[in-house]
Amino acid sequence: MSINKVNPYNIEPHTAEIYDNIETQTHDVEFIINLLKKYGCKNVLEPFCGTGRILIPIAKNNFKVTGIDNSEMMINRLDSKIEDIPVEIRNNIKIIKGDVTNLDWPSNYDAVILGGNCFFELASLEEQESVLYKAYGAVNNNGYIFIDNDNIENRLPDSWCKLNVENKSYPTGKCQDGTELKGFSIPVFADKKNKIWKAKRRLEVYKDNKIVNQYEWEIQKHPIGYSEIIKMLKKLELKIVNIWAGTKNIQEYYEGATRATFWVQK
């Protein structure tokens, strides 16, 4: 069970729409689809699938894809998108609602996609390691795992460690029905060396410029770095096929890159 008891994507239904309005990038999705084609993968698992930013294009490219997510609100939005696509593509998709940290993952996949900075959803290196371990169990022998995260090496950046200062954060924005969300984050704990960061989070919901709801919760994060991922891959004896410095202006990984993207084989 995850240390974080609250999934911030499941606090307020409009969060899913705000997510889709903000996260519109497609370079990583195209990158993943090219890898799946190049390496002959047919059957794909995407834990942390959210509203389907990666999952739906995978299905539209004729791969069979299973998504896992534990936010009912994100899955509801994903479901309504799935209803709008042709039935032959819809048949490529299966969605499982569950917490990746305690669910028994399905298996026999050609590839598992740990994309979209998904390790940042998890509270500790142990949780991240357990997710990679489950990905290892879900993929066939000779199958592939894609891992793509912001690269925070060695220590928490100083900018993360200004405690008790409130910052605007996700989810912030306006929805089609006029509802406005304002998210805030106050860092309350920062262990620079072990990269454990905790924050109090707050969400205000406005309708017609009047506040109608307010939610508060706490989160813990462990931003992962290249070296930690390398260590986990070695433990599982996964073969590194390639490492890039992200999927935007594609280049091989270099020290100091702000993103680390792995394609590894079991």
Ligand X SMILES: C[S@@+](CC[C@H](N)C(=O)[O-])C[C@H]1O[C@@H](n2cnc3c(N)ncnc32)[C@H](O)[C@@H]1O
Q: Which residues pair with 180 in a beta bridge?
A: 174, 206
Mapping DSSP to helix (H, G, I), strand (E, B) and coil, where does residue 126 land? helix
Q: By rule CB under 6 A, what count of residues binds ligand X?
A: 21
Q: Of 103-142, which residues contact ligand X (CB under 6 A)?
A: 115-116, 118, 121
| CA count, 13 A, side-chain hemisphere, 8 | 27
Question: Per rule CB under 6 A, is residue 100 in the interface with ligand X?
Answer: yes
Question: Per rule CB under 6 A, is residue 70 in the interface with ligand X?
Answer: yes
CB of 226 to ligand X, least distance (A): 20
Cα separation of 112 and 26, whole Å? 18
Element at 184 (helix H, strand E): strand 180-191
Question: Per rule CB under 6 A, is residue 7 in the interface with ligand X?
Answer: yes
Q: Of 26-55, which residues contact ligand X (CB under 6 A)?
A: 48-50, 53-54
CB of 100 to ligand X, least distance (A): 4
CB of 32 to ligand X, least distance (A): 10
Nearer to ligand X, 18 or 74 (CB): 74
Q: Are 51 and 16 in contact (CB under 8 A)?
A: yes
Residues 6+ apart with CB under 8 A from 47: 67, 68, 69, 100, 105, 112, 113, 114, 118, 131, 134, 135
CB of 67 to ligand X, least distance (A): 8
What is the contact surface with ligand X in residues (CB under 6 A)? Answer: 2, 7, 9, 23, 48-50, 53-54, 68-71, 74, 99-101, 115-116, 118, 121
